[in-house]
């Protein structure tokens, strides 16, 4: 009846959002969404920050600058310094979640039919965003160390031979969603060099790097690029407060070369006029209060303990059935099931046994791998995580014998 736009004739909803219908059941243990532990929200600190913010109620309630109020830009610049990134206000676009930062970047960089490179597997909402933009997705394989740079090089040569220059490469190089892996320094340097050589922009999505609970930090692509002549023109970095403060605040930002940032600013005018000055102001007050660092320390400890508890339980309960590396940070454990049970069959039985996770298929823009699954370890207490693992084992046994 209605005549929809090409991208929405057959809308494919996010595989994670699709599982939400099961979550209203209080008995359900969900390893599905990338939800922070609600007991770790700094409610008191945010209440105080809200009160301070609201002393300037007129500014909270009025329209603010499209690319962000000055206070949060200043805090964003300070925050980026901890990631080794130098930024000026004209490089920063404050956004309504980093989801919007990527959406704006697509609007300003790609035309229908352009090639956007993604790692496979990757974050499905951004596969969705690229599809909506009408760009052509070319997936590059990953291995247990993240993006396979040799494969990327071959893909780039291949595209070049056909006269195609990709516009963007989307990557989550630190504790990726879904695979939880971190790209090594050596691979990062090669990736930046390839971006310069082939003149594509790397969209570095980084909501997770502060959540490292073991291993050694690796510098961000943006920080590395700033030390290589001309390379910083080819990286856009997206940061978010969703996983380290609270997703409900919807405050994030991108840091980009000024020519890109200016265009994101213009694109944002038609997207939402500007993000809420109220929550930006609360976030600025919170970041200025110095409470983030101790809170992050609590999160790292808690998530590290949860991750170890989950890994240990899965190793004990499903030693032959599941293959995975224990993550060093972030929120996700990515595993591969041994035949004959695949992730869809396990999920079907899991729903009966009141445990859910996300099958890996939806994270692939190319060939879905039915054996993979993503298990998020952050939201529940350790006893609930252990109970969830027991239910998974039961679900697996039921799937195997059916
Ligand atoms: N990028 C990645 C890799 C994510 O995992 C998420 C959230 N799950 C986002 C972006 C979106 O986060 P935000 O809440 O900042 O929009």
Ligand 1: which residue has its CA nearest to atom 5?
Answer: 177
- Which residues contact residue 203 at a Cβ distance below 8 angstroms, ignoring those fewer than 6 apart? 102, 105, 168, 169, 170, 171, 236, 238
Q: How far is the CA of 207 from the centre of ligand 1 (A)?
A: 6
Question: In angstroms, how far is CA 318 from the centroid of its own chain?
Answer: 28
DSSP state of 24: T
Are the beta carbons of 206 and 223 closer than 8 angstroms? Answer: no
pLDDT digits (tens, 9 = 90+) for 172-186: 999 999 999 999 999
Q: What are phi and psi of 268, to 5 degrees?
A: -70, -25
Separation CA 384–CA 264 (nearest Å): 42
d(CA 53, CA 75): 14
ipTM: 0.99
Q: How confident is the model at residue 358 (pLDDT cuts 50, 70, 90)?
A: very high
Asked whether 242 lines ligand 1 (CB < 6 A), one says yes
Give all strands (DSSP E) within 92-152, no chain letters.
92-95, 115-120, 136-143, 146-147
Q: Residues 272-312: pLDDT tens digits?
A: 999 999 999 999 999 999 999 999 999 999 999 999 999 99
Cβ–ligand 1 distance for 172 under 6 Å, the answer yes
Ligand 1 near 253 CB (within 6 A): no
99 C-alpha to ligand 1 centroid (Å): 6
Compute the distance from residue 1 Cα to the ligand 1 centre, in Å.
34
Among 253, 129, 237, 216, which residue's Cα sits nearest to residue 173?
237
Query: How far, in Å, is the centroid of ligand 1 from the Cα of 340?
Result: 33
189 lines ligand 1 (CB under 6 A): no
Q: For residue 242, give the ligand 1 atom closest to its CA.
A: 14
C-alpha to C-alpha distance for 305 and 310, rounded to whole angstroms: 9
123 pocket-lining for ligand 1 (C-beta < 6 Å): yes
Report which ligand 1 atom has the smallest distance to the Cα of 34: 8
Judged against a pLDDT cut of 90, whether residue 53 lies above it is answered with: yes
Q: Which of 79, 122, 125 to mutate to test the pocket of ligand 1 (most atoms within 8 A of CB)?
A: 125
Q: Take atom 11 of ligand 1 and give the residue whose Cα is closest.
A: 99
Q: Is 98 in the pocket of ligand 1 (CB under 6 A)?
A: yes
Q: Which residue lies with its CA nearest to atom 13 of ligand 1?
A: 97
Residue 139: its pLDDT value, please?
Answer: 97
| 240 touches ligand 1 (CB under 6 Å) | yes
Q: Whose CA is nearest to atom 16 of ligand 1?
A: 97
pLDDT in tens, 92-140: 999 999 999 999 999 999 999 999 999 999 999 999 999 999 999 999 9
Q: Is the pLDDT of residue 89 over 90?
A: yes
The Cα–Cα gap between 28 and 22 comes to 7
CB of 303 within 6 A of ligand 1: the answer is no
Give yes or no for a contact between 361 and 334, defined as CB atoms under 8 angstroms apart.
no
Ligand 1 neighbourhood includes 207 CB (under 6 angstroms) = yes
DSSP class of residue 22 equals G
pTM of the predicted model, to two decimals? 0.97
45 in Cβ contact with 295 (< 8 Å) = yes
The reply to whether ligand 1 has any atom less than 6 angstroms from the CB of 176 is no
Pocket test for ligand 1, best of 15, 105, 177, 239 (most atoms within 8 A of CB): 177
Q: What is the pLDDT of residue 361?
A: 92
Structure confidence by residue, pLDDT tens digits, 67-86:
999 999 999 999 999 999 99
How far does residue 4's CA lie from ligand 1's centre (Å)?
27
Which range (4-13, 43-52, 164-173, 252-261) has the least confidence? 4-13
pLDDT at position 394: 97
């Amino acid at each position: 009846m209605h005549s929809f736009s090409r991208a929405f004739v057959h809308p494919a909803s996010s595989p994670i959002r699709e599982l939400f219908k099961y979550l209203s059941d209080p008995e359900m243990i969900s390893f599905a969404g990338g939800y922070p532990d609600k007991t770790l929200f700094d409610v008191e600190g945010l209440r105080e920050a809200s009160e301070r913010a609201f002393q300037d109620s007129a500014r909270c309630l009025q329209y603010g600058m499209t690319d962000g109020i000055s206070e949060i830009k200043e805090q964003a610049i300070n925050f980026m310094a901890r990631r080794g990134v130098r930024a000026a206000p004209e490089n920063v676009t404050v956004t309504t979640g980093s989801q919007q930062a990527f959406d704006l970047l697509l609007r300003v960089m790609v035309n229908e039919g352009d090639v956007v490179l993604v790692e496979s597997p990757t974050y499905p909402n951004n596969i969705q965003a690229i599809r909506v933009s009408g760009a052509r997705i070319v997936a590059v394989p990953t291995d247990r160390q993240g993006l396979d740079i040799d494969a990327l090089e071959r893909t780039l040569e291949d595209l070049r031979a056909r006269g195609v220059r990709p516009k963007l490469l989307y990557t989550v190089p630190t504790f990726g969603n879904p695979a939880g892996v971190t790209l090594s320094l050596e691979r990062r340097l090669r990736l930046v060099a390839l971006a310069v050589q082939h003149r594509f922009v790397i969209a570095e999505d980084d909501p997770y790097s502060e959540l490292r609970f073991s291993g050694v930090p690796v510098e961000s692509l943006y920080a590395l690029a700033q030390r290589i002549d001309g390379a910083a023109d080819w990286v856009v970095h997206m940061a978010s407060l969703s996983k380290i403060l609270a997703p409900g605040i919807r405050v994030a930002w991108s840091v980009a070369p000024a020519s890109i940032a200016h265009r994101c600013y213009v694109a944002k005018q038609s997207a939402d006029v500007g993000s809420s000055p109220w929550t930006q102001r609360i976030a600025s007050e919170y970041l200025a209060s110095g409470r983030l660092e101790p809170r992050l320390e609590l999160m790292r400890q808690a998530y590290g303990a949860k991750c170890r508890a989950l890994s240990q339980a899965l190793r004990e309960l499903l030693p032959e059935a599941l293959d995975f590396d224990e993550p060093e940070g972030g929120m996700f454990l990515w595993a591969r099931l041994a035949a004959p049970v695949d992730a869809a069959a396990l999920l079907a039985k899991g729903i009966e046994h009141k445990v859910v996770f996300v099958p890996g298929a939806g994270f692939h823009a190319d060939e879905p791998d039915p054996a993979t699954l993503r298990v998020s370890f952050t939201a529940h207490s350790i006893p609930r995580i252990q109970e969830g693992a027991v239910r998974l084992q039961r679900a697996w046994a039921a799937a195997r014998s059916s």
